[in-house]
Structure 1
């Protein structure tokens, strides 16, 4: 089947998403040639912290709110494939060295990088084989949760069985899964059918008070209520979907202390975009039973995306039909992986 025909068929059979009201607003543009593969983002309200996918040493770029570089934090540690980042209240930047496109790693790692460039390595091992994970969710107690990137099934959520140990490894336990439905939000790599790109988890974040959990795909963000700070419980609830249209390779998401949601894409010259008051879109009295991609949002909320109009075909069917073209898209993503 020709690429164009298979792509059109896969998208046609995927659920169609209705229009939305909450549009991201451009905050600033990242024109720094050294930040061309943006994969992790964090904010303390006055500064942003950005890191690239891959690299030969740990590097975090400290940016002003208008995207100007103020300084860099570096450490000579050579990571395998950094895919996300979280910042805890003590200022530590947690870099998720968890990328594994080739499914070759015996362990993955977290690097705890202090503002003065000191780092501690924590290795982690999966209980059920290798996974590629691009989302890190850090709860208020400092417990990391990794969310895998799955093109043919539900994303899996893992957290350590016990306290982190350096260098480890500490075994991970699977504690949840999240099954997204495809959407019609434009964006994502052109090499991947939208029906697939809109279900691949590419980043995660937790609000500063721990009460809202966010996961993103190449095209949309999903906000979950976590009134007690429990990430696993939050991911079992119905989320609010926030479309993030026209990001060519969106892999970053972060919260500011005031509840503003920040997102960004790989590529020099791409903007950092903001959605003010994003945490307010999520109900403090959440509904049980998550059905991502088909969310009507919090009760009475006019900013969340309306419910998806389902075409009658389940996402898995669109996935199967688009599999041939997806293999080419996955090969494209695989080029980003390192061979170390």
Structure 2
């Protein structure tokens, strides 16, 4: 999303203490790109602001941030070439996210709201695949229980198909659950489940349905689901403006960034976080509802729901061995606050009339 330079600078400076504090206090070290799966580059010049991301077999589906028409791109994971584009009849306000739907389909989330003025957001179920097409896709309105929110993250449970939205707040994002069954032309009121990391730009379920990963511009965090217990956080590779994240059937992670001809990075979950995920005792992802959404059936390409693709070995580390939010040191936050204050002073001095 393109934001006026002054607003972008002020917003960045205000968020600096939180980004620095959260990254230093909860990081598990840099993630190194998987050498067995090198990154590819989006070849299509029309993909300029990759925000939402879904991995389906040998393809990745992405979309541009706000300002584009209602369309999604299917891209070959081997070459980075676009193999299909789906257009649908809509005039979106702020498209920001994608999530898996049924086989050959994705959910497109018109959920962005920087000024927090929208009384309802919209999700649309869109077919994707090879070839170009224009479709009339079913859309559903969602409303928050506590007023308008800005959001860039849309997740779908691979077991139940239920949709979840994560707000993009500076300190902590809130996870909202959509109704188990969506009704067209109705007020589909969401419910708040709990909190995750701040400034969330995207998120996704793991194939087991018992964990989610949420990212911001610099880091990612894994939570057990539905209790949203933090299992670990780590620093992501540097990107121009990292926004998209998707989880493949083997639990590996793909990352996209805004900008033309950007790399699609392929990374693995750090060993300590993987071990903590394996120690989770959460029994099912079907809470808070056990009713599958017929309008959002789980994708057969999302992988099995029986557990992670690679569980921990005997004697693996528990969640206590991974960075947790219990009682972090205050020094990262003090450092972040000092940096933010210094930057704000410099900004105000530069804006002072001469």
Q: TM-score range by the shorter chain?
A: 0.7 to 0.9
Q: Which residue of 2 aligns with 1:49?
A: 61
Q: Deviations over 1:129-185 (max 9, x none)?
A: 11001111211212111110011x32111112452111322111112122x3xxxxx
Q: Is the 8 A contact 1:23 1:243 kept in 2?
A: no
Do residues 130 (structure 1) and 137 (structure 2) align? no
User: Quick one: distance in 1 between partners of 2:42 and 2:275?
Assistant: 27
Q: Gapped runs of 5+ residues in structure 2?
A: 1-8, 283-311, 348-354
Q: Deviations over 1:234-259 (max 9, x none)?
A: x1x23222321211211100011122
Compute the displacement of 1:313 (Å). 4.2
1:12-161 superposed matches below 5 A: 14=21, 16=24, 20=29, 22-25=31-34, 26-65=38-77, 66-115=79-128, 117-139=135-157, 140-151=159-170, 153-161=171-179
Q: Which residue of 1 aligns with 2:205?
A: 206
User: Quick one: distance in 1 between partners of 2:235 and 2:20?
Assistant: 20
Task: Tell me the SS of whatever aligns to 1:322.
Answer: helix
User: Quick one: distance in 1 between partners of 2:142 and 2:66?
Assistant: 18
Q: Which residue of 1 aligns with 2:223?
A: 224
User: Quick one: distance in 1 between partners of 2:56 and 2:185?
Assistant: 28
Compute the displacement of 1:211 (Å). 3.4
Going from structure 1 to structure 2, the CA distance change for 1:27 and 1:301 (only over 3 Å counts) comes to farther
Compute the displacement of 1:19 (Å). 6.5
Going from structure 1 to structure 2, the CA distance change for 1:142 and 1:36 (only over 3 Å counts) comes to same
Instruction: Answer with 1 or 2: which has the greater Rg.
Output: 2
User: Quick one: distance in 1 between partners of 2:148 and 2:15?
Assistant: 32
User: Quick one: distance in 2 between partners of 1:9 and 1:54?
Assistant: 24
Please, what TM-score do these two structures have when normalized by structure 1? 0.73
2:244 aligned to which of 252, 255, 262: 252
RMSD: 3.6
1:165-180 superposed matches below 5 A: 165-178=183-196, 180=197
Compute the displacement of 1:42 (Å). 0.6
Please, what TM-score do these two structures have when normalized by structure 2? 0.70
Compute the displacement of 1:21 (Å). 5.8
Q: Deviations over 1:4-25 (max 9, x none)?
A: xx78994898363567263134
Compute the displacement of 1:30 (Å). 1.8
Going from structure 1 to structure 2, the CA distance change for 1:319 and 1:110 (only over 3 Å counts) comes to farther
Going from structure 1 to structure 2, the CA distance change for 1:8 and 1:96 (only over 3 Å counts) comes to closer
